[in-house]
């Protein structure tokens, strides 16, 4: 599904990603962990196509296609979804309107007819139960006046409605209390399965108690310094990042 | 340059689609302005003596006036002797008596503009007065409205048929010596719309005037007068377009509204005059004076405007809140793109007790456009319990445009309550990116964000106009994202 080869990327004139290799197969859940500043969010932004980051070397293949060459909206239409770490507010545009416009753009791209208002409403209502969002939310402006937890749940709702093939969750757990975390995790777990691939980007192991990954990767200073099964996350929890970072630095020095 | 900045530019580059010229024989007076021009216009319209006297009084006063320079707009000096002050499509008789007599070429023009004048095809519930250059060419649903005692006709027709009403109200809100452009208009205005809603009548349909400039080098000076008697109510719509030309054309209109006790007038404008080309060549100078007087107690006047056209816009639809408990409202969306300039806003003059006013202004600047909000709220000594709420928001698309705000508040009564909110924001790259990540194209994203920004104003527009306004906004900004 997703194949990242020797990816280098910079934000401004600072090189953040320094050679990432990662393969995510259909149906898998991967967790990318790492300390602050290790490049986690940059990786998410590269995959979603944000213009503030630019790829300098390497390639990203999504379903065999060159992802980097695609416009952000085309990536979304092809099934790449990013749950934002900081969802923006858009005053005057209702959640429902945005979501419907997005869904219809995606459907049109796939040669499907637009959903009519009634069907759409029914679909959203059903998905809203999953993330325990009050229906009145949908008529409010996008993320405007939402609490941190509400914004994150809204991201998961959008994901549930848009049904991506590849979902990237950028620190969706940050700032959530334990109840909200459970709700978000339940939403993500409900999306799991079939051919859908999910990449969780997180600083803390906590989220992985609720969403158990197939693979865990540790990112440090722009490189994946260790990969393993779900037990790697637990090891990080007890030992912190420093032992891996040290190892990574050693490996980096050896490679250069 | 990032993709979305590029896209903002592309969205702004869309062609003006009403730029065609109708080829029609016209009755035109020679270029230039003097007392003879005014006598000629008055004679052509077969006006009663009071009208000519009023025009000449205005003209003589105008000669003593200087063109104002305080507005935040820049343009080369206008040569007032190089303008044609009257141009009318030539007709067989004095004017068409019915739609059947209207030149088919004219009907076609309005058809093309999306304003069918035949009553069968017309929008249900909208009566239209079509003003072409200097004259009104057709008014629909006149007879149906007359059954209710409503007068809706060309201004020149009102002068002939209802001279007493015209004499009573003309200049009662915008006097002949009000300001440079209004005074010029008073001297040379050739036509416009007149609406009179008698006591207790609620006008059952939207009244609307569609202004079209066609002839080259002419100025359009129309005058609209709307009077709502005690307990009457009316909703009025105004739309405008003009052909594309390299030269600038002057449009100096005056609109006067009078609301008596418990009357309500809602005046909505969608202004889409030719804005000039991408490099700022050509376009209409839209220098307009619009003012409403809430003369009676509990009267209410609302201005809603969507200003997307014109090279330069200079207008301040205002309310004089004279009657106790009267209400004035101003809702505005002003868009400037390419080299357009707008200096627009409102004045709310509180005279009566417990008068209330609301101002909501949304300015959108793209390209190299300069957008200025200028507003004044004045609470006079006797206006006990007056209240005002003002909100001015500016949205910038790209980094070469500008937004300016000049609010002024003058309070002479200590019981007044004033609120003023203002904001300026740049359309966020991250807002656009967020939408794109959900599958929405950059262009649709910008249009969605801008429409969201204007929502509180669009809500005030009549239904079919709101849809039109949203589309127009999309067109005006098209090319500014891609």
Distance separating alpha carbons of residues B396 and A90, to the nearest angstrom: 15
pLDDT in tens, A37-58: 899 999 999 999 998 899 999 9
Element (H, E) at A44: helix A40-48
User: Are B436 and A72 inside 8 Å of each other by CB?
Assistant: yes
* Contact residues on chain A for B3, CB-CB shorter than 8 A: 51, 71
* ipTM, 2 dp: 0.93
Q: Which residues, at least 6 apart from A246, have a Cβ–Cβ distance to it below 8 Å?
A: none
Q: Is the pLDDT of residue A95 over 50?
A: yes
User: Using CB atoms, which residue from A90, A97, A105 is nearest to B439?
Assistant: A105
Measure B345 CA to nearest chain A CA, in Å. 22
Architecture of domain A2-255: 3-Layer(aba) Sandwich (3.40)
Measure B437 CA to nearest chain A CA, in Å. 5
Torsion of CA B153, B156, B157, B161, to 10 degrees: 120
* Contact residues on chain B for A84, CB-CB shorter than 8 A: 434, 437
Q: Is the pLDDT of residue A81 over 70?
A: yes
User: For residue B218, what are the β-bridge partners?
Assistant: B84
Task: For chain B, report the end-to-end CA distance as a whole number of angstroms.
Answer: 12
Strands (E), A111-213: 141-142, 166-170, 197-202
pLDDT in tens, B241-259: 666 666 677 888 999 999 9
- CA torsion sign for B71, B77, B80, B83 is negative
Element (H, E) at B464: helix B463-477
User: For residue B349, what are the β-bridge partners?
Assistant: B320, B378
Both tokens of B110, joined, read 């309005």
Closest residue, chain B, to A76 (C-alpha):
B439
User: Are B448 and A90 inside 8 Å of each other by CB?
Assistant: yes
Which regions in chain B score pLDDT beneath 70?
A: 1-26, 89-128, 131-139, 212-218, 240-247, 463-465, 468, 472, 474-482
CB-facing half-sphere around the CA of B69: CA atoms within 13 A: 4
Question: H/E/C letters for each residue in B12-44?
Answer: CCCCCCCCCCCCCCEEECCCCCCHHHHHHHHHH
| DSSP three-state, residue B399 | coil
User: Are B438 and A158 inside 8 Å of each other by CB?
Assistant: yes
* Contact residues on chain A for B441, CB-CB shorter than 8 A: 73, 105
Determine contact, residues B44/B99, Cβ cutoff 8 Å: no
Distance separating alpha carbons of residues A37 and B2, to the nearest angstrom: 24
Measure A206 CA to nearest chain B CA, in Å. 27
Determine contact, residues B214/B132, Cβ cutoff 8 Å: yes
Burial state string for B64-88 with b = 16 or more CB within 10 A and e = fewer than 16 = eeeeeeebbbeeeeeeeeebbbbbb
Spell out which chain B residues touch chain A, with contact meaning CB-CB distance below 8 angstroms. Answer: 2-4, 428-431, 433-442, 444, 448-449, 451-456
pLDDT in tens, B379-421: 999 999 999 999 999 888 878 888 888 999 999 999 999 999 8
- CA torsion sign for B82, B86, B88, B91 is negative
Closest residue, chain B, to A161 (C-alpha):
B438
User: Using CB atoms, which residue from B2, B428, B436 is nearest to A73?
Assistant: B436
**DSSP one-letter code for A164:** -
User: Are B438 and A99 inside 8 Å of each other by CB?
Assistant: yes
Interface test with A, best of B2, B429, B439 (most A CBs within 10 A): B439
Spell out which chain A residues touch chain B, with contact meaning CB-CB distance below 8 angstroms. Answer: 48-52, 71-73, 75-77, 81-82, 84, 87-88, 90-93, 97-99, 101-103, 105-106, 109, 141-142, 158, 162
CA-closest candidate to residue A29, choices A200, A250, A236: A200
User: For residue B85, what are the β-bridge partners?
Assistant: none
The domain spans of chain B are: 3-477
pLDDT in tens, B83-107: 888 877 665 444 455 556 666 666 6
Determine contact, residues B305/B465, Cβ cutoff 8 Å: no
Q: Which residues, at least 6 apart from B378, have a Cβ–Cβ distance to it below 8 Å?
A: B347, B348, B349, B350, B409, B410
| DSSP three-state, residue B149 | coil
pLDDT at site B82: 85
Both tokens of A97, joined, read 């309107």
pLDDT in tens, A120-147: 999 999 999 888 888 888 889 999 988 8
What percent of chain A has pLDDT above 70?
A: 95
Measure A240 CA to nearest chain B CA, in Å. 33
Q: Locate tokens 């859908």: which residue?
A: A196
User: Using CB atoms, which residue from B2, B431, B437 is nearest to A76?
Assistant: B437
User: Using CB atoms, which residue from B438, B452, B453 is nearest to A102?
Assistant: B438
pLDDT at site B340: 84
| DSSP three-state, residue B204 | coil
DSSP-derived pairing of the beta strands A80-83 and B126-132 = unpaired
User: Using CB atoms, which residue from A48, A101, A142 is nearest to B437?
Assistant: A48
Measure A106 CA to nearest chain B CA, in Å. 6
pLDDT in tens, B314-327: 899 999 999 999 99
Average pLDDT, whole number, for chain A? 89
Interface test with B, best of A50, A73, A82 (most B CBs within 10 A): A73
Q: Which residues, at least 6 apart from B459, have a Cβ–Cβ distance to it below 8 Å?
A: B466
User: Using CB atoms, which residue from B2, B434, B444 is nearest to A51?
Assistant: B2
Distance separating alpha carbons of residues B20 and B178, to the nearest angstrom: 35
pLDDT in tens, A153-168: 999 999 999 999 999 9
Distance separating alpha carbons of residues A23 and B233, to the nearest angstrom: 69
* Contact residues on chain A for B437, CB-CB shorter than 8 A: 48-49, 72-73, 75-76, 81-82, 84
Determine contact, residues A86/A54, Cβ cutoff 8 Å: no
**Rounded alpha-carbon distances, angstroms, from residue B440 to B115, B400, B432, B455:** 32, 25, 9, 20
């Amino acid at each position: 599904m997703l194949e990242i080869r020797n990816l280098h990327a910079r934000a401004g004139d600072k090189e953040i990603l320094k050679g990432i290799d990662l393969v995510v197969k259909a149906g898998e859940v991967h967790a990318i962990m790492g300390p602050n500043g290790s490049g986690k969010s940059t990786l998410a932004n590269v995959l979603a196509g944000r213009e503030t980051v630019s790829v300098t070397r390497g390639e990203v293949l999504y379903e065999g296609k060159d992802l980097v060459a695609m416009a952000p909206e085309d990536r979304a239409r092809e099934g790449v979804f990013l749950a934002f770490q900081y969802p923006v507010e858009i005053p005057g545009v209702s959640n429902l309107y945005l979501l419907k416009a997005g869904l219809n753009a995606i459907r049109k791209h796939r040669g499907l007819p637009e959903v009519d208002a009634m069907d759409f409403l029914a679909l959203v209502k059903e998905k809203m139960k999953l993330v325990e969002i009050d229906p009145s939310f949908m008529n409010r402006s996008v993320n405007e006046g939402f609490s941190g937890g509400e914004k994150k749940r809204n991201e998961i709702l959008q994901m549930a409605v848009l049904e991506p093939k590849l979902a990237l969750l950028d620190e969706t757990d940050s700032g959530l209390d334990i109840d909200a975390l459970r709700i978000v995790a339940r939403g993500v777990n409900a999306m799991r399965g079939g051919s859908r691939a999910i990449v969780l980007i997180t600083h803390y192991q906590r989220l992985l108690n609720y969403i158990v990954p197939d693979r865990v990767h540790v990112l440090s200073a722009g490189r994946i310094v260790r990969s393993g099964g779900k037990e790697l996350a637990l090891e990080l929890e007890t030992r912190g990042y420093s032992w891996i970072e040290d190892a990574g630095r050693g490996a980096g020095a050896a490679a250069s | 340059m990032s993709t979305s900045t590029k896209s903002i530019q592309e969205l702004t580059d869309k062609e003006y689609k009403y730029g065609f010229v109708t080829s029609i024989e016209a009755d035109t007076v020679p270029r230039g302005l003097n007392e003879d021009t005014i006598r000629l216009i008055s004679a052509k319209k077969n006006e009663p003596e009071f009208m000519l006297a009023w025009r000449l009084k205005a003209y003589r006063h105008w000669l003593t006036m200087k063109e104002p320079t305080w507005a935040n707009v820049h343009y080369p000096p206008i040569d007032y002797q190089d303008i044609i002050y009257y141009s009318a499509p030539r007709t067989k008789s004095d004017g068409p008596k019915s739609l059947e007599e209207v030149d088919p070429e004219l009907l076609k023009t309005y058809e093309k503009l999306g304003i069918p004048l035949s009553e069968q095809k017309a929008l249900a519930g909208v009566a239209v007065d079509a003003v072409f250059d200097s004259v009104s060419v057709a008014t629909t649903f006149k007879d149906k409205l007359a059954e209710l005692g409503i007068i809706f006709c060309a201004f020149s027709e009102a002068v002939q048929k209802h001279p007493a009403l015209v004499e009573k109200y003309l200049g009662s809100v915008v006097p002949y010596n009000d300001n440079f452009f209004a005074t010029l208009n008073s001297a040379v205005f050739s036509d416009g719309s007149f609406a009179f809603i008698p006591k207790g009548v609620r006008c059952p349909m939207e009244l609307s005037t569609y202004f079209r400039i066609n002839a080259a080098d002419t100025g359009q000076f129309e005058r609209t007068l709307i009077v709502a008697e005690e307990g009457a109510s009316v909703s009025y719509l105004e739309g405008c377009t003009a052909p594309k030309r390299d030269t600038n054309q002057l449009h100096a209109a005056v609109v006067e509204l009078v609301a008596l006790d418990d009357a309500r007038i809602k005046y909505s404008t969608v202004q889409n005059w030719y804005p000039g080309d991408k490099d700022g060549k050509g376009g209409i100078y839209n220098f307009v004076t619009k003012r409403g007087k809430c003369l009676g107690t509990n009267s209410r006047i609302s201005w809603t405007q969507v200003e997307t056209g014109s090279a330069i816009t200079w207008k301040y639809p205002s309310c004089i809140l004279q009657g106790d408990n009267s209400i004035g409202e101003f809702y505005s969306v002003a868009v400037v793109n390419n080299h357009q300039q707008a200096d627009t806003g409102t004045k709310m003059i509180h005279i009566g007790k417990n008068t209330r006013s609301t101002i909501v202004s949304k300015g959108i600047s793209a390209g190299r456009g300069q957008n200025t909000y200028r507003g004044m709220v004045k609470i006079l000594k006797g206006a006990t319990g007056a209240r005002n709420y003002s909100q001015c928001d500016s949205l910038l698309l790209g980094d070469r445009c500008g937004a300016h705000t000049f609010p002024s508040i003058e309070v002479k009564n200590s019981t007044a309550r004033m609120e003023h909110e203002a904001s300026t924001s740049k359309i966020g790259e991250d807002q656009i990116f967020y939408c794109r990540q959900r599958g929405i194209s950059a262009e649709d994203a910008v249009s969605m964000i801008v429409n969201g920004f204007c929502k509180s104003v669009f809500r005030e527009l009549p239904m079919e106009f709101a849809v039109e306004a949203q589309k127009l906004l999309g067109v005006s900004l098209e090319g500014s994202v891609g």
